[in-house]
Structure 1
Amino acid sequence: MTTRYSYGGDEHIFVEVDEEMSLEAFFKSLSMTNAVRDSGIAGITEICPANASFQIKFDPDVIAPDALMEKLKGFEAAAESSDKTIETRIIEIPVLYNDPWTHETLMRFRERHQDPDSTDLEYGARINGYDSVEAFISAHAGAPWFVSMVGFVAGLPFIYQLVERAKQIEVPKYLRPRTDTPKLTVGHGGCFGCIYSVRGAGGYQMFGVTPMPIYDPKGEISYLRELMIFRPGDIIKFKPIDRAAYDAAVEAVEAGRFEPRIVPVSFSLDAFTADPEGTNAKLLEALDG
């Protein structure tokens, strides 16, 4: 697809890198937004990256829209030939799968679901060809996930499982959105996962809940001084835990003692494309080490 550039009112330019949400499109978008950030163009007030697109907010009294559009187009060729390696982090997220809170919620909204007679986990397992919920959870937690954007609500990461496309978990969203989703729910819709940073409406399937806060508007939690933990390019590894470990983690959070496991890593798109399993093994080895 040819990259599409369009204006969004008087103060925004929207750039659609690809109609397909892929890692390749994400890396091109990331390269372009990094180039915009590093260029120091006068008048740009905000850069908002997404899965396969990005939006630039600017002050038209400082830079003319047409002039900025030409500058943005100039970054595209360099992005296509740039090194697709980033220095990032892998973050371990503990998850209580099949927890009582999302279970109670999903049962309240069964009339909005494709299969009212099963739970979200049972439905996800069946349509993805797994013979049990346990096998499905193992697949969900077994490979890392890539944070391709943060948004919708503050702190919420959209995540893409780092496996071959044929092995990706795919589950449709609810037929109609729920009016309630527990805070810190681990959800899934289409090929994307997410973690609901706050309680509210939602349409993704609900698989579990994490005890680990990912957004703190007050900035009181030690590892959330910047208000939210995730940024595009981060890598997540889910760790299944039981109820006792969940309760212990909640207690540690409330006491100010909880610290997430975060390890710096390099991620190469070319290396992953050539050897997904080998790349994932190195990422998980860095976390375990």
Structure 2
Amino acid sequence: MKTRYSFGGDEHIFVEMDEEMSLDAFFKSLSMTTAVREADIDGVTEVCPANASFQVKFDPDRIKPDDMLAELKALEHTAESAEKRLNTRIVEFPVYYQDPWTHETLMRFRDRHQDPSGSDLDYAARINGFNTVEEFITAHHSAPWFVSMVGFVSGLPFLYQLVERKKQLEVPKYVRPRTDTPKQTVGYGGCFSCIYSVRGAGGYQMFGITPVTIFDPKQETSYLRDFLVFFKPGDLVKFTPISREEYDATLAEVQANRYTPRVREVEFDLEAFNADMDGFNKKLMGALNDV
């Protein structure tokens, strides 16, 4: 893994851990951003983490760009030797796959898709070697997901599935982006799933929708009164398929402020995960059933 540093004008430095996403790259990026904050470097005004990279904003009147670069490179060794464990939480998120709202939307934009003859799920299942859409949906929700970053639009999580590389689902984005995506759509682009926090433009394939609010700028939702964004990097997510009836019931609970997401505190150990991915995932998902 070779770290690449590049300047963004005279007040930003972009640090890329690897050209491809991996949990090793994420943990190194997380360790470096933590080290930058703890170093309290004079002149640093913001640290913005991403999937396997981060960007530092600094005041060039307080620290020269070359000096800022030297400070970051000096912290890289600290990140490489950091323990790859994370105290975090796993959250169960219900998903209504093949819902009517995302289906109506994707049919309006078939001229922007690689395969106008079917749905987004038809295309995703076929190019990933599944015989049916149902098999692809099972693969999508059968293993937990790791929130590697939050952003693009407020509150949107990028989710990386915790499976070995050969089992990784991959689906390209639309050839041309849509001008509409329903709020709380569960989408997919490249190796990342996501949940659209707001209605708007988008290019990810659309697989379903969740009734659970993940972004509330007014902080009126009961479980978002402390902070308007639900997700944070390092969170783990277990998608659970639900029916239309379950979707309607859960949505009514959310809107009435009676809904509480199922959350459990867990420790994610990268070495233990790499040693036994299936066993570690079962343990993670089993934590949701603990009282």
TM-score category of the 2 structures, normalised to the smaller one: over 0.9
The percent of aligned pairs where both chains have the same amino acid is 68
Query: Aligned partners of 2:263 and 2:60: how far apart in 1?
Result: 40
Equivalent in the alignment of 1:244: 245
Query: Aligned partners of 2:58 and 2:222: how far apart in 1?
Result: 33
Post-superposition shift, 1:75? 1.1
Letter in 1 for 2:256: A
Equivalent in the alignment of 2:95: 95
Poorly superposed stretches of 4+, deviation over 4 Å: none
Equivalent in the alignment of 1:215: 215
What aligned pairs does 1:1-289 form with structure 2 within 5 A after superposition?
Answer: 1-224=1-224, 225-289=226-290
Q: Secondary structure at the match of 1:62?
A: coil
8 Å Cα contact 2:169/2:191 also seen in 1: yes
Letter in 2 for 1:39: A
Deviations 1:157-179 (A, max 9, x none): 11111011111111111111111
Query: Aligned partners of 2:266 and 2:67: how far apart in 1?
Result: 37
8 Å Cα contact 2:109/2:178 also seen in 1: yes
Q: Secondary structure at the match of 1:63?
A: coil
Deviations 1:140-194 (A, max 9, x none): 1110001111111111111111011111111111111111111100000111111
What TM-score comes out, normalization by structure 2 length?
0.96
Deviations 1:82-131 (A, max 9, x none): 11111111111110000000000000011111111111111111221222
Query: Aligned partners of 1:194 and 1:39: how far apart in 2?
Result: 32
Unaligned runs of 5+ in 2: none
What TM-score comes out, normalization by structure 1 length?
0.97
Q: How many matched pairs?
A: 289
Query: Aligned partners of 2:171 and 2:16: how far apart in 1?
Result: 25
Deviations 1:25-77 (A, max 9, x none): 11110000011122222322211111111001122333332322221111101
Q: Secondary structure at the match of 1:75?
A: helix
Unaligned runs of 5+ in 1: none
Post-superposition shift, 1:4? 1.5
Query: Aligned partners of 2:268 and 2:98: how far apart in 1?
Result: 31
Letter in 2 for 1:257: R
